[in-house]
Amino acid sequence: MSNFMVYGATGYTGSLIAREAVQRAMRPVLAGRNAESLATLAGELGLDHRVFALDAPGTIADGLRGIHTLLNCAGPFSRTARPMVDACLRVRTNYLDITGEADVFEALAARDAEARAAGIALLPGVGFDVVPSDCLSAHLKRRLPTATRLNLGFQSSGRLSRGTALTALEGLAEGGLVRENGIIRRVPAAWKTRTIDFGNGPAKAITIPWGDIATAFHSTGIPNVEVYMAAPWSIRVGARLSRWLGWLLGSRVVQSRLRRRILAGRPGPTEEERRGNRCYFWGKAMDESGGKAVARQQTPDGYDLTVQTAITSVARVLSGAVPPGFKTPAMAFGPDFILEISGVTRTDESRDRRDRT
Ligand SMILES: NC(=O)c1ccc[n+]([C@@H]2O[C@H](COP(=O)([O-])OP(=O)(O)OC[C@H]3O[C@@H](n4cnc5c(N)ncnc54)[C@H](OP(=O)(O)O)[C@@H]3O)[C@@H](O)[C@H]2O)c1
């Protein structure tokens, strides 16, 4: 149960995962590009480590030699997933990551045949984005097999890590995404606003380009997908303003200024902040004859959840439970996988209750 590697192990999320793995008596090999911080962390945890960057294909393949399963925690994954997957295919190492980037999911889905031929699993998105929402999507599809539309939403008041903020910054100027008739379509930022009852009263939410725009279609076949995030007034207005400021937000000067500000901040939420945060998910599937199914989930903080779902996913792959090819979390583990994680609950709205959302 220990022949796996955590790449990006010295990042905020990677190091939480490495520490929890040790708590569970697993012994991952830690890896990344920063020799000094890796040696310090590996020394502290008593683990082996390997140093390699991702700019030379041969070096990555050498770095992965003998490794059964890789968990890539180095994001933005728009830069790291492709070279890592190329090397994983070459040396036949299973690939998992914690991306939430829709483009990355689509790029990996397109490599399904290569993964099958190499006999490896390609399993991106084993964190907060997208395990809970992907399981919710598959659960709703199970309840309403005729569904043709899926709306998902989440609400969290937790702080973002620097890495998450930097990844979000990359997509800031690009607006939103929805899936229509099976095709991913670019839409303006905060394209739609709606009121959602996440189980704790109504909240205003806006559409966002969340990873489920890619994954929910692969997991359920539902061809129309929108994803919403609960957002206070200031964020809703800011997101709408960004429609007209996209050129500015994408400019090199603004990007590097925002980047500097993010890098000057704390690496991520403290343990206490994470412990005080809960996340709420809502999903609604609809079909063409007026049928609908609604369900809600509550989970721990997104980073704590990511640690649990990522390690549990790795353990499943190490045990040989996941066949080769591209998989979303719900494809690999089923809709009830999320319920195996401590602190997660799910409730179905009964069909006769008036749907207020
Ligand atoms: N799916 C989810 O729910 C979820 C949850 C948590 C995080 N994430 C994502 O995971 C990523 C990491 O987040 P974080 O908070 O851990 O960030 P972080 O603290 O900034 O750590 C990022 C790590 O990735 C490494 N890295 C980044 N780009 C690299 C590259 N091109 N080549 C090699 N190594 C690279 C960094 O190495 P250096 O120190 O050498 O720069 C660092 O070790 C982000 O994209 C974030 O959005 C997703």
Atom from ligand 1 closest to the CA of residue 10: 43
Which pLDDT value is given to residue 348? 97
Question: What is the 346 CA–ligand 1 centroid distance (Å)?
Answer: 29
Which pLDDT value is given to residue 353? 47
Cβ of 13 less than 6 Å from ligand 1: yes
Cβ of 306 less than 6 Å from ligand 1: yes
Minimum CA distance residue for ligand 1 atom 17: 163
Counting ligand 1 atoms within 8 A of each CB, the residue from 164, 273, 307 with the most, and so the one to mutate, is 164
Reduce the secondary structure of the chain to three states and give it as a string.
CCCEEEECCCCHHHHHHHHHHHHCCCCCEEEECCHHHHHHHHHHHCCCEEECCCCCHHHHHHHHCCCCEEEECCCCHHHHHHHHHHHHHHHCCEEEECCCCHHHHHHHHCCHHHHHHHCCEEECCCECCEHHHHHHHHHHHHHCCCCCEEEEEEEECCCCCHHHHHHHHHCHHHCEEEEECCEEEEECCCCCEEEEECCCCEEEEEECCCCHHHHHHHHHCCCEEEEEEECCHHHHHHHHHHHHHHHHHCCHHHHHHHHHHHHCCCCCCCHHHHHCCEEEEEEEEECCCCCEEEEEEEEECHHHHHHHHHHHHHHHHHCCCCCCEECCHHHHHCCCHHHHCCCCEEEECCCCCCCCC
Cβ of 176 less than 6 Å from ligand 1: no
**Rounded-to-integer distance, Cα 301 and Cα 314, Å:** 20
Cβ of 299 less than 6 Å from ligand 1: no
Positions in the chain short of pLDDT 70: 1-2, 351-357
Cβ of 128 less than 6 Å from ligand 1: yes
Minimum CA distance residue for ligand 1 atom 24: 74
Cβ of 83 less than 6 Å from ligand 1: no
Cβ of 164 less than 6 Å from ligand 1: yes
Minimum CA distance residue for ligand 1 atom 47: 164
Atom from ligand 1 closest to the CA of residue 100: 1
Question: What is the 293 CA–ligand 1 centroid distance (Å)?
Answer: 36
What amino acid is encoded at 314 in this protein? Answer: V
Question: What is the 117 CA–ligand 1 centroid distance (Å)?
Answer: 29
Question: What is the 42 CA–ligand 1 centroid distance (Å)?
Answer: 18
Which pLDDT value is given to residue 2? 62
Kindly report, residue by residue over 51-74, the tens digit of the pLDDT. Answer: 999 999 889 999 999 999 999 999
Instruction: Say if pTM beats, i.e. exceeds, 0.85.
Output: yes
Which pLDDT value is given to residue 355? 46
Which pLDDT value is given to residue 37? 97
Which pLDDT value is given to residue 354? 44
Kindly report, residue by residue over 149-173, the tens digit of the pLDDT. Answer: 999 999 998 889 998 988 888 877 7
Question: What is the 99 CA–ligand 1 centroid distance (Å)?
Answer: 9
